[in-house]
Amino acid sequence: MPSDEIKQEYRDGTRLEQRVNLHDLFSRNRRGWHPWVFDQLTFPPDGQILELGCGLGLLWQRNSDRIPAEWRVTLSDFSMGMLAEAQAKLQGFNAVSFTVADAQAIPFADGCFDGVIANHMLYYIPDRRKVYAEIERVLKPGGRLYAATNGQLSMRQYDELIDECLPGYRQERGSHRDDLFQGHFYLENGYVELAQWFSMVSEKRYDDALIVTEAEPLVAYVESSGHLDGQALAGLRRRVEQVIALQGALQIDKVAGVLIATKGLTGGRI
């Protein structure tokens, strides 16, 4: 299970919405992350699909008119509060069901899903070996895992700003843990990890950046961690406002994408 800190942080959708809001407001790529991720999905017409760590179910909310009626989609999350909000927002979609689940012990039978989706959630798992083994187990032969995450250099200008205004903050939050299977799950090391469990891994990248023209949504993004006092946030706000006044906007480059891992036809770890 995720740590107690993460459980508290995501007990409901409030903090997640603060983070999503920054990207909704200022992302340069107007296609939008969730429609783009949906574009990458390839399942049979009657596909059985599991999303791990679904959060508020935004992938399905923002593609509600594109969900084939024959699909059977199971949305899961460790947070009962988060899952309840997702369920409320997706009422009336008969193709979608909900279950509280730990990704390290998926409560479904072997070989029952055509696809598993893990959208920006694998870096919350204490030991990803367990999750990979479970995903490989519940996938049908030839089934696919779609694991979305960031690259190592994503939002580097944001990291530099945080290091300037809030020294030590990122280290305290564990941003520099990079040991295999237990550190941050990036596109770069994620590819290497997944190749040890699946027969084929490919990568698709999403071209984007944040063009931030208001300080408050960025401050709210930082505040969503719940670990900063008002004085620290006020200093950050002043610095962001200064950069925007001088440059017209704060550009934050994003590196994100989806790793697509296919289970071999004979199954089993390779």
- pLDDT confidence of residue 92: 85
172 domain-assigned: no
130 domain-assigned: yes
44 domain-assigned: yes
In one-letter notation, the amino acid at residue 256 is A
C-alpha–C-alpha distance, residues 229 and 166, integer Å: 11
pTM of the model: 0.90
269 domain-assigned: no
- Per the model's pLDDT, the better-predicted residue between 231 and 58 turns out to be 58
Q: Using one digit for the tens of pLDDT, what is the confidence trace for 216-231?
A: 999 999 988 766 778 8
Q: What is the mean pLDDT of the chain?
A: 90
- For residue 126, the enclosing domain spans 4-152+177-207+255-262
C-alpha–C-alpha distance, residues 157 and 253, integer Å: 7
Burial of 76 from C-beta contacts in 10 A (0-12 / 13-18 / 19+): buried
In one-letter notation, the amino acid at residue 127 is D
- Nearest alpha carbon to residue 50 among 149, 139, 137, 142: 139
28 domain-assigned: yes
95 domain-assigned: yes
C-alpha–C-alpha distance, residues 128 and 134, integer Å: 10
> HEC states along 102-144?
CCCCCCCCCCCEEEEEEECCHHHCCCHHHHHHHHHHHEEEEEE
pLDDT band at residue 3 using 50, 70 and 90 as cut-offs: low
- Torsion angles phi and psi, residue 200, rounded to 5: -150, 135
Please state the domain count of the chain: 1
Q: Using one digit for the tens of pLDDT, what is the confidence trace for 105-144?
A: 999 999 999 999 999 999 888 889 999 999 999 999 999 9
- pLDDT confidence of residue 11: 64
Share of the chain above pLDDT 90, in %: 77
> Which residue in this structure is represented by tokens 């909704």?
24
Q: At what angle do helices 156-165 and 230-247 cross, to 10 degrees?
A: 130
Edge-to-edge strand list for the sheet holding 72-77: 96-100, 72-77, 48-52, 113-119, 139-150, 250-262, 200-212
C-alpha–C-alpha distance, residues 99 and 82, integer Å: 11
Q: How far is CA 23 from CA 33, 133, 146, 157, 268, in A?
A: 9, 32, 21, 15, 38
- pLDDT confidence of residue 181: 52
Q: DSSP strand E in the chain: where?
A: 48-52, 72-77, 96-100, 113-119, 139-150, 200-212, 250-262
139 domain-assigned: yes
13 domain-assigned: yes
- Mean pLDDT within 76-97: 92
C-alpha–C-alpha distance, residues 37 and 117, integer Å: 10
Assess whether pLDDT exceeds 90 at residue 154: yes
pLDDT band at residue 81 using 50, 70 and 90 as cut-offs: very high
Contact 113, 150 (CB under 8 A): no
Q: What is the CATH number of the domain that holds 181?
A: 3.40.50.150
Distance of CA 228 to the CA centre of its chain: 23
